[in-house]
Amino acid sequence: MRTASSAAMTPVPYRVRSRVAENRDSATLCLEPVRQSLPAPQPGEFMMMYAFGIGEIAISVSGLPSASDAAIRHTIRSVGAVSRALHDAQPGTVIGMRGPFGTHWGLDEAVGHDLVIVAGGVGLAPLRPVVLEALNNRDRFGRVTVIAGARSRDDFLFEIDLQDWARDGSIDLHRTVDVPVQGWPGEVGFVTEPLRRLSVRPDRTTAFLCGPEPMMRNAAKELLRKRLAANRIRVSLERNMQCGVGWCGHCQLGPLLLCRDGPVTGFDIADPLLRTEEL
């Protein structure tokens, strides 16, 4: 978690280098700094993205800078005025960026462990850097299982990545859809179905979950039944983040301010909060 300062409230201009349409309502932007670059985000952290003259929203990173390239990737689903403007931004568009903010997935703490990565819908975007880091440092981890779910085959993000991961013999990929169509070669049902069949070493496994809250709760329950400790199950929570630094209070969830104490937290912390309906 990074320390907040007044400078964290000043947007830094980034230019859209490229745009890839992922499906009918989501697109990935590759953004490069116009002048100065912000600190490199870690997997799980988010940036505040400002569409000039429209507004600002929090978006998790879906691709990280490298030593030779300061570009950041964000995958944005068009669901409102700001996200629509960002989603539609074409190469050359300048966007204001603040961050990075929040907590990260803590991959360093999972070194030597098997990884179980479960994503529902656009939840694959914040988890993509986890998969890429695991593949880039394959010798640091044990078995890597990726379970990706979507409403239909046309709703998946990162189709090229998914095809590459399916061909990569070093990870175990499951793709499942709620609504099958003729010719769909993958699995049908919720992400909990392949998760239920998965064998895990509870003392040597770390799980990463991102997607709708009911999906994360049900997936976490499956892992708890397999005797995985709740603090080894990491979830990414979403609320209305407006400042990014824990000052405005809009993202409060019980005792947490998710832009500061999240979005990533252990299920031992998240479970009682998600079970309380009024929160």
**107 vs 77, 134, 156, 163, 175, CA distance in Å?**
26, 9, 24, 24, 23
The tens-digit pLDDT sequence of the chain (279 residues) is 555 555 678 999 999 999 999 999 999 999 999 999 999 999 999 999 999 999 999 999 999 888 788 899 999 999 999 999 999 999 999 999 999 999 999 999 999 999 999 999 999 999 999 999 999 999 999 999 999 999 999 999 999 999 999 999 899 999 999 887 877 888 999 999 999 999 999 999 999 999 999 999 999 999 999 999 999 999 999 888 889 988 999 999 999 999 999 999 999 999 999 887 654
∠ at Cα 61 (60, 66), nearest 5°? Answer: 160
> pTM of the predicted model, to two decimals?
0.93
Angle, helices 213-225 vs 267-274, to 10°: value is 120
Specify the length of the chain in residues.
279
Straight-line distance from the first to the last Cα atom of the chain, in angstroms, rounded to the nearest whole number = 23
pLDDT for position 65 = 85
- Stretch (H or E) spanning 145: strand 144-150
**251 vs 31, 240, 254, 269, CA distance in Å?**
26, 5, 10, 16
pLDDT for position 1 = 54
SS (H, E, C) 111-122: CCCEEEEEEEHH
pLDDT for position 4 = 55
CB 177 within 8 A of CB 153: yes
Q: What are phi and psi of 57, to 5 degrees?
A: -140, 160
Q: Can you list the domains of the chain with their CATH numbers?
A: 6-101 (2.40.30.10), 107-274 (3.40.50.80)
CB 64 within 8 A of CB 71: no
Distance CA 276, CA 143 (A): 34
Distance CA 54, CA 97 (A): 14
pLDDT for position 181 = 80
Residues 170-205 as b or e (16 or more Cβ within 10 Å = b): ebbbbbbbeeeeeeeebbeebbbbbbeebebeeeeb
